Structure formats: structure tokens, C-alpha cells
A and B are shown apart, each in its own frame.
Chain A
Amino acid sequence: MNPPPLVAVAGNPNAGKSALFNALTGARQKVGNYPGVTVERKSGRLVLGDGRPVEMVDLPGSYSLDPASPDEAVTRDVLLGRQKGERQPDALVIVLDASNLDNHLRFALQLIELGLPTVVALNMVDLARRDGLELDPAVLERELGVPVIETVAVRKRGIAELQAALDDMLSAPRCGVHKHVKTDLFHLQRRAREIATAAVVSETPVRRWTHRLDAVLLHPVLGPIILAAIMFVMFQAVFAWSEAPKAWIEGGVAWLSNLVSGALPPGLLRSLIVDGAIAGVGAVITFLPQILVLFFFILLLEGTGYMVRAAFLMDRLMHGVGLSGRAFIPLLSSFACAVPGIMATRTIDDPKDRLTTILVAPLMTCSARLPVYTLIIAAFIPNTRLVWGVGLQGLVMFGLYITGIAGALLAALVLRRGVLKGSGGGFMMELPKYQWPPVKDVVIGILTRAQIFLKRAGTIILGTTIILWALASIPQAGPGKKQSEVSIAGHIATGIETVVSPIGFNHDIALALLPAMAAREVAVSAIATVYSIDSPGEQASATKLQDKLQHRWSLATALAFLAWFVFAPQCISTIAVTRRETNGWKWPLFMVTYLFVLAYLAAGATYWIAVAAGL
């Protein structure tokens, strides 16, 4: 059977391409990667009026077929049929921003010259009208020689007409494709301006919304204050909004755990399912609400156009340590999780800028560190109030965040002076018009992230927790012996202990560090597993765990443990995504090494200073 025809959606960044793609394909989307490169491939299915399926692919936004970034290179290669792992498209949908024709038409002219069956979506005509710009699609159609359809993708306007045009095109016989396209920008640009001018019916100068908003949001004083306020609200929400769903998930995990405990006889199998699988995966999926709330904000900030403004405001400061304003977005995302953060570095054009951002991203306090910080702080830092509204526990937490940020900035500075020396890449970004992203697009974005996270929890994390459980449970300790010392994991931990005992870590910590390589939060469940395997029959609850820690760890050890987790690259997913994003093992190995060295030094310094201070 022939594969369904492939239709590519192409256009400039900020032309509303993704919204149009979502409107055409709905939620039936697949997100993957082009082989060998780090560019996301988004595809979906569209069913034509006569029931024929069509595969749609959303090409990375580009300004021209003369690529200035890896994303743009993929767009060019797919269109020319040179991209590995992709068929040549059978037809093309070009998305134009109606209010930015003189720029967007240049790329459109190049694309039309390819000779593929093409339809143009003149998108965001509503915003153009709002700005007083009236266009004549018939003029465009005549000048471009391809059908032009007015659309408002976010309102689903013009989508049916666009589908009908696709239907017509795909029914017509196909001709070949020109492999050589003019890249004479000057000529194309002049022609684009001519056509754009001809297509304008009327233009009433109005004070544009975007300009009014920018006057406030990019104000030299108000701008940074508003940005700080938005960040504050965002992080408050990450914790506040996720509290209830987190409790539901915890309740569900406990219920399931009890159910299985009741149904199975005591023994290895029950221990495997309850202590291994349910406890391990359960501990991790409680972070799902936090991650989703954070992504909600990031998608919202990105969709409204504010994210680029944040980059604009922060560029000078980021530039000071050798990064660009564009790094602000990935680094901010890394507060949720370094994995999407590192994936978001794809928007950084300069390879050295990008690599530096990737290497420091794991220093941002990701949500997986929170359970570790929360547990240790609750167990060792007294809950005293310093001044109104500021408690000692909160202050320590804040200090850990600040240490991470300072560490990242310092590391970036050093990297840019050393291994990644070179002139800073530029900061050149389009400031798109403000608009409300459609609810559907935000929902699709959040669902995609949830799916990726749950897949990770279901595979890597489930696998490692089961392996850890096996290592910790086999061989079984005889009476009077401690399981955590007899088991295989115990022996490995004894080896690690010799390395980490100078920085104040005991055998239990050494044992927890091993599985925490899978993900930092596993440290908590690992410690819980160790103590619950050691003392079966006792329910491992959070308060009990705190008591046990207070008895077994000194304050100096606890502080050193916190310092360790600020720096240590204990996350297989981060290492894996770094390997994928840098196309090799060199940089992930470099990252792991420098972060472990930093972690060791920081934990050691903390321990010895604390011991010297008599803690």
C-alpha cells in the first residue's frame, strides 16, 4: 500500500505556523526527532473530505532556504528531498503573517519556486485588520501564481477552505521539483516588497496594541519589575497549584500499595512490587503536577510572545557571563527539569552559546531536587521564624536556589573563558506581536510533555528502581544482620563510601547515591527503601523517615548532602539528552565530570566548615 501523501507546512517563525498545523491536524500528533540532528519533527494526520488520509509535517520556522541554523537546514533539506528519514513532500502549505508580508513573502517566493503543488495560507488576517491593514488576497494569488486562502488559525477560520485546496492539489497529477532555487536575497526582497505593496487595499495608521504593551513591558524600569513579578507568580503557582493534585497522586499510590500488599502474601514478589515498583515510580510521578504547571506557564509565555521580551530584558546580563538572552528561556525551563530546558536550547543559533547553556542547565534547581531538599531541610533545619514571613527553612531553600544560579553563571563565565572560548554569538530575535494562544494549543503542549514524562517514569525510572530493589534485597540478610550491608548494593556502597567519607557521607548516603543517578528524587525513595528493607513491618512514612535521618546523620553531613545535590549531575535523562543534543559522548562526559568535581568540592567544603563550626 502506498503511504498517504505528505504535506509540509512551512513559513517564517511567528507566522502562526504551529497554530495552523494544530488547527489542521487536531490532537493527533507525533513528536519525534530527525535522525542524526537535534531538530524536532512534528507530524500529524489530516483526513480529506473523501476520507483519504494525509500526513502533515510541521517544518521548523525559517526565514529563507539559505539556512542560518540547524532548524533551517532541516527545513531546506526536507523540501529538497535531501533529509534523511523523510520523504519529499507531495505538497506545500506556506503560512504567511498577513501583517508582515514584505518580509514573509521573500521566503514564500523561494518556496513557490521549488515547483511543489503549493497553497498559501494568509494567516492572522484578523490581527492585520486590527492594525488597520486591509489586504486583497486576489492580488496575491495573481502575483504568486498559487491559491491564497485567508485564515485565522487560532479561530479555525479558513481551515475548511484550506483543506479543500489541499484536496484539489493532491488530486492533480504531480510534476517534478526544481532543485535549484534562487537565493539572491536582494532580488527576492525587492519583489516581495512590490507584491506586498500591491496587495494592500488600505492602511489606516493606528497605534498598535503591541507597541502600547511594549512601552510598558519593555520599559527600562517597569519591564524588569514586571518580569520579576511574573517569575514570582510562576514559581508560587508551581508549588501552590500542584499541592492538591500531588496529594491525590500520593493518595492513589498509597491506596494501590495497600491493595497489592493485601492481595499478595509477604515475600520477595510483594516486596518487589510494593517496595520496588510502586514506591519508586510513585515517588517520581508525584512531580507530574509541578512539571505540568511549569510547562503551562512556559507555553503561555511563549504563545503570548512575552518569552522573547523576557530574553530582550535579560540579554545584557546574560551576555555578561558569555550567554545570550535566548539562554534565559532554556535556563528558566531548567527550573522545572533540565531535560526540556536542554531541548529548548535549540533556539540558540550560536553553537558555543548553545553548548555553554546546555552545560550549565543542570545547575538550575530542577523540581527533582525539591523532594531531597524538602526532606533534609524538614529533618535538620529548625522551623524558626526570622522576621515576619521569612522562616529559616525557607531561607535555606532560597539559598540552595541562589547557589545553583550563582554556580551556573560562574560556570558559564569560566567555560566561555576556557574550553568554549570565542566571541559571543549575537542576539537577534524578532519580537512577535502579542496574542492569546489558543487554549487547545496550550493543552496539546501540556499533554505532550505529560506523555514524555510518564513514558520516562514508566521505563527508565521503573527499570532502575527494580534493579535497585534487587541489588538491595539480594542476598537476603540472616537474623541479626542489616540488609543494607549484606546485599549487593551494600557492597557497592561500601566501595563508594571510601570515596565519599572524607566529605562526611555515611554508608546509607553512598547507597542512595547509586540509584539517584537515575533521577535525583530517587535518592529519597532509595533512602526510604533502604530503611524500610532494614526494618520490615514498619510503614515508611515521611515523618518516620525524618526521625530516622535525625538519629543517623549529623547536621554537618546533612548540609554536605544538600550541597552535593546543588551540583551533582545525578540524572540519567539529562546525560542522555545532552548526548543526543551534542551528538556524541564528549560533552556529556565533560559535563558529568565537572559537575561531580564541583559537587565533591562543595560538599567537602560544607562538611569541614560545619564541623569546624561545631555543628
Chain B
Amino acid sequence: MNAPFLPEALGLDRLALGTRARVASVDWAALDHGEACRLRHFGFDEGVTVEPLHLGPFGRDPIAVRVGRMTVAIRRKHASAISVTPLGR
């Protein structure tokens, strides 16, 4: 899932809380149409800065992610389709 030309890229689900990162690529094929639509509507796209803020209390799922000026909650499974490159704290 990680883009091969960006070795440091990792899934958004593995990014530590409070770490800002840039979206390197989104594996749209791993999502169904509705899910992909929603993610796009929330503003997830290549080049956008994201930051995981909170984790659900049970099984660390879902994840609350800051994207642009919004905070959205997505499940771990969907977060793993989003590859990011950390920008440092």
C-alpha cells in the first residue's frame, strides 16, 4: 500500500497522535464508492496535511483526524488506505 517511491510513507493508521503528515497517496481502489466519495468530500487528497488527534477508547479505533480545518472520524481500516509522509511534530 505504501508508495514505493516514497520509502518513508506509512499508513495514516500507523501515524502517531499529534504528528502532522502530508498525504502521499490514497488507495482509492481499497475503498468502495461511497467511502471514497466521503473521504474526498472531507478533503482527503494528495498533498493535504493531516494530523491524527484522538483514538477511540476500544481497540484504538476509530481515529479522529484533522484534515484542513476540519476534524473527521474514520475507521482504522479506511485510514490504512491513506499513505502519509510525516512532517515532524
Contact = CB atoms under 8 A, between A and B. Distances in A.
Interface string B39-80: 111110100000001111111011010001111111101100
Contacts of A220: 55-57
A312 B62 contact: yes
Interface stretch (A77-85, A161-169, A428-436): A428-436
A315 B38 CA distance: 18
Nearest to A210: B71
Contacts of B34: 68-69, 349-350, 425-426
A224 B54 CA distance: 13
A64 interface: yes
Interface residues of A, number: 39
Given A66-B37, A313-B57, A426-B38, A189 B74 contact: no
Contact of A312 (B35, B40, B56): B56
A427 interface: yes
A218 B63 CA distance: 11
A214 B62 contact: no
Contact of A103 (B39, B54, B70): B70
A120 to B, nearest CB: 18
A220 to B, nearest CB: 4
B74 to A, nearest CB: 5
Given A214-B54, A220-B55, A315 B73 contact: yes
A538 to B, nearest CB: 55
Contacts, number: 105
A312 B57 CA distance: 9
A101 to B, nearest CB: 8
A316 B54 CA distance: 14
A431 B68 contact: no
B38 A102 contact: no
Contacts of A223: 57
Q: From A218, A223, A349, A425, name the one whose CB has the most chain B CB atoms within 10 angstroms.
A: A218
Interface in A63-81: 63-64, 66, 68-69
A593 interface: no
A311 B39 CA distance: 18
B56 A315 contact: yes
Interface string A405-429: 0000000000000000000011111
Interface string A287-313: 000000000000000000000100111
B24 to A, nearest CB: 16
A312 B58 contact: no
Interface centre among A311, A426, A428 (most CB of B within 10 A): A428
A100 interface: yes
Interface in A308-362: 308, 311-313, 315-317, 319, 325, 349-350
A432 B43 CA distance: 15
Max chain B CB contacts within 10 Å: which of A64, A186, A350, A431? A431
A430 B78 contact: no
Contact of B71 (A101, A189, A431): A431
Interface of A: 63-64, 66, 68-69, 99-103, 185-186, 189, 210-211, 214, 218, 220-221, 223-224, 308, 311-313, 315-317, 319, 325, 349-350, 425-431
Q: Which 3 pairs between the two chains have the least Cβ-Cβ distance? A: A63-B41, A316-B58, A218-B54
Given A426-B78, A431-B71, 17 more contacts: A68-B38, A102-B69, A210-B71, A214-B54, A308-B73, A313-B56, A316-B57, A426-B35, A427-B62, A427-B75, A428-B38, A430-B42, A430-B71, A430-B72, A430-B73, A431-B64, A431-B70
